Amino acid sequence: DVKVTQSSRYLVKRTGEKVFLECVQDMDHENMFWYRQDPGLGLRLIYFSYDVKMKEKGDIPEGYSVSREKKERFSLILESASTNQTSMYLCASSSPHGGRNTEAFFGQGTRLTVV
């Protein structure tokens, strides 16, 4: 069974803390994504990685950075957490090949609350 695993389901952090959200996939996918999900705003892309050490900014990268040192792991970093970063964060992975393998697989999400 294919899996994208996010390290935490729920996190509560204080304003100003540095926060790490971890994501691991076991499908040998080249592409990995971090999305933020907010009511009425859908899934907004924060960062995208298409290979180890390669990354591309999404629509809302401000206040975030990412790290991809190994193919299976993609980390989202909140450099200095703020209350407006309270949200559901979703990691996904996919393979850049045609056919069924184009499917993006999602993790279960991390609900982050910044107080």
Partner 1 sequence: QQQVKQSPQSLIVQKGGIPIINCAYENTAFDYFPWYQQFPGKGPALLIAIRPDVSEKKEGRFTISFNKSAKQFSLHIMDSQPGDSATYFCAAVSTSGTYKYIFGTGTRLKVLA
Site for partner 1, rule CB under 8 A: 4, 31, 33, 35, 40-45, 48, 50, 56, 58-59, 90, 92, 94-96, 98, 102-104, 106-109
In whole angstroms, the minimum distance from the beta carbon of 96 to partner 1 comes to 4
Q: Which is nearer to partner 1, 3 or 18 (CB)?
A: 3
Rank residues 2 and 79 by Cβ distance to partner 1 and give the closer one: 2
Q: Which of 87, 112, 75 is nearest to 37 (CA)?
A: 87
Q: Which residues contact 65 (CB under 8 A, 6 or more apart)?
A: 47, 76, 77, 79
CB of 16 vs partner 1, minimal distance in Å: 29
